[in-house]
Amino acid sequence: MDLFTIIFYAFALLALGAGSVVVFSKNIVHAAFALLFAFFAVAGLYVLLMADFLAITQLLIYVGGILVLVIFGVMLTNTVISVDVKTGTVQSMPAVLLSAALAGMLVGMFWSTDWKVTTQQTLPEATGNELGTMLLTSYVLPFEIASVVLLVALVGAAMIARREKKA
């Protein structure tokens, strides 16, 4: 086993472990900090895939922006108005069945695929200017739709956190 494979498995295990802590943690602050490690592990996997732009974007946007916003929001919200966060497992059995079905399907596809490794692949030369031009001309509508969807998710999360308790 070479060093590249060992590093890949280390990042993959870190991402899976931190992701499971995020999902199964009862404490939302612990879940937020575990999300930090999951984001770093995914950025490490991007670096191993030689997708440097995605790795830097992962670090700047998710770790630098969104995660810090979530952590500050959780810490400020819990101390000021003492919001109870419900982390109960209401639909755990359907989730387990769906996850098992999806995992089985993915493993079946993995084993039925004929993996061919080519020795040399040529990629078209692209610069950052071409990527930015394409993103802001040809793909500006999907780019803006993604930003609106993220804004709606953030507003929905704020509404759920501020919802009045029924007596």
| Mean residue pLDDT across the chain | 80
Hey, what are 62's tokens?
């998710």
- Tell me the per-residue pLDDT of 145-158, one tens digit each, with 9 for 90 and over: 888 888 888 777 77
Cα–Cα nearest to 36, from 14, 13, 3: 14
pLDDT at 141 over 60: yes
The CATH class of 1-84 is: mainly alpha
Question: Are 15 and 45 spatial neighbours (Cβ–Cβ below 8 Å)?
Answer: yes
What is the number of other CB atoms lying within 10 angstroms of the CB of residue 117?
5
Q: Which residues make Cβ contacts (< 8 Å) with residue 14, sequence separation at least 6? A: 37, 38, 40, 41, 44
Write down the domain spans for the chain. Answer: 1-84, 130-167
- Tell me the per-residue pLDDT of 106-140, one tens digit each, with 9 for 90 and over: 999 989 988 776 666 565 665 667 777 777 788 88
